[in-house]
Structure 1
Amino acid sequence: MADARTKQPVPFRGGGFRPRPIRFVGLAVFVVLIALVEWGTRAGWISNLTLPRPSDVLATFVELYETGALWDHLSVSLSRLVMGSAIGVSAGIGLGILIGLFSLIRAGLVPLVAAIFPIPKIALLPLFVIWFGIDEGSKYALIALGTFTPTVVATYGAVENVDRTLIRMGQSFGLSWLSIVRKIVLPGAMPGILSGLRISLAIGIILLVAAEMLGATHGVGAYILQAGSLYDLERLFAGVTILSILGVTVSFLIGQIEKRLLNWRS
């Protein structure tokens, strides 16, 4: 399409604020921040008692990798995170869908979820230790509960926000209840469910560290606790870096799932 006076193409203006992928900008931000800290610690503007040099943290990280201690701690933490989150997220999505679809279940369980949701889950760790012991059971239970409640809230909120016009349209075409749920409700709720999943897994990582600081000898949380007790900032920040990389990886994986499941939005 061209303007009749200028004969120049008219730019498309219907993008709808669709986000554009811009590569390497996020990486550049990380690089600049790390370079500033490195320069500040070497120049003496930042005390080594406050922040260690990023180069020293990198050397500690490389040492962890070469000795095999990195995988020893990371494999234990990943197994706990995957097991606890799988229980909490699957139960949360299932219950959230039921709450969003059935009024009786919503009336009975929404007040209960609202009562549990604001409780600091870390405060329940001693109780879980009494119930499940100091081994893996209490850690799984803490992560499961921590990921369960935000997943329930995000899921039933997403189901309730599905456009009712689309549901009425499906009913007018004679679609069965199950077909409406499968073809309209679940696809429409999926963006909200995946957004809630990002928050739930981030909370799961936080609770993982808290759980591993009690009665654990292996795991990223236990490694950070040991480094902090010795005031070994290089090891401490190496552990924090592992958690940061874990969080970025989880976010990236969810982003890939979104691209695959939500390609209909493009």
Structure 2
Amino acid sequence: MLERTSKDPTETAGVQPARHVPFRGAGFTPAASRWAGWLGLAAVLVVWQLVGGLALVNPLFLPTPAMIMRALYRLAASGALWQHVSASFVRIVAGWALGTASGIAVGFAIGLWRIARSIGITFVSALFPIPKIAVLPLLILWLGIGEQPKIATIALGVFFSTTISVYSGVDAVPRNLIRMAQSFDVPFPTIVRKVIWPGALPSILAGFRITASVALMLVVSAEMIGAETGIGTFVLQAGNLMQTDQLMAGILVLSLFGLAVGRLISLLEARLLHWR
């Protein structure tokens, strides 16, 4: 007697059985490995040290990481490093704070009021492309030789970048949210504080990253032109004397300062943009 076997109806109809499809609706969520960056940096340093240790490259042109760290230690032990770092730090903080405060005020004015936009965008478009370090001699003539022209140069560079990021962030706020608040007769200051400010904040914080780099570049340039102390002055003097290990030590300090600022802004984003 033949045994009757049951078959899957989908197989009888010639239909492929259902298969599991991974969920693809999670959006774009980039993730970075915690240790990949540090391992890559360590690999580069090891190769760099080996190239220098095997005398494949003249140390005058490319000092090894060990030579740079020894130069940095000597500078720190002598106190010269702290003198230069503190002078640059004061200039950066003062110039960045002044430029950021004025840039936020002007950026919001341009984003919120028609007359301010008509006048402000014209001036920003005309003056933003000018290299700010080019006006340093004029600022020295106006403000004298001292800290004021250096701080003013940094503030100018930070001001224009901040202004653009602020009014761009205000323009990017969804208008339906503003109209909804207006339909409920919410006062204008409350709309600015509760709707426009949170909506523009991501763009403002992204602008902070840019302006921090701008301030760092401008302080180095300003110190190379007219200063007795500062990281820019130190790097220029080391380059003129062909002390490349000290020059690279100064560049390392600038890099560490940039990393510290970036970390601080990341903490601000995590604190202020937790709702995203």
TM range (shorter): over 0.9
Runs of at least 5 residues in structure 2 that lack an aligned partner in the other structure: 1-17
- What is the deviation of 1:172? 2.1
Aligned pair count reads 260
Matching residue's letter, 2:119: G
2:190 aligned with 1:186: no
Quick one: which of 232, 239, 242 aligns to 2:250? 239
The residue number in structure 1 matching 2:102 is 91
Quick one: which of 143, 150, 155 aligns to 2:161? 150
- What is the deviation of 1:12? 5.5
Trace 1:191-206 onto structure 2 (pairs within 5 A): 191-206=202-217
TM-score by length of 1: 0.92
The residue number in structure 2 matching 1:113 is 124
Matching residue's letter, 1:84: G
The residue number in structure 2 matching 1:18 is 29
The residue number in structure 1 matching 2:72 is 61
Stretch of structure 1 that moved more, 137-146 or 28-37: 28-37
Please give the alpha-carbon distance, in whole angstroms, between the structure 2 residues aligned to 1:12 and 1:75.
53
The residue number in structure 1 matching 2:235 is 224
Larger Cα-atom Rg: 2
The residue number in structure 1 matching 2:56 is 45
2:240 aligned with 1:256: no
- What is the deviation of 1:11? 6.0
SS in 2 for 1:118: coil
Please give the alpha-carbon distance, in whole angstroms, between the structure 2 residues aligned to 1:34 and 1:202.
24
- What is the deviation of 1:46? 2.7
Stretch of structure 1 that moved more, 170-179 or 100-109: 170-179
% identity of equivalent residues:
43
- What is the deviation of 1:158? 0.8
Please give the alpha-carbon distance, in whole angstroms, between the structure 2 residues aligned to 1:253 and 1:14.
32
- What is the deviation of 1:264? 0.4
Quick one: which of 138, 142, 157 aligns to 1:131? 142
- What is the deviation of 1:19? 3.1
The residue number in structure 1 matching 2:11 is none
2:184 aligned with 1:173: yes
Please give the alpha-carbon distance, in whole angstroms, between the structure 2 residues aligned to 1:15 and 1:255.
24
Q: Which stretches of structure 1, 4 residues or longer, exceed 3 Å deviation after superposition?
A: 10-15
Runs of at least 5 residues in structure 1 that lack an aligned partner in the other structure: none
The answer to whether the 8 Å contact 2:107/2:163 transfers is: yes
SS in 2 for 1:263: coil
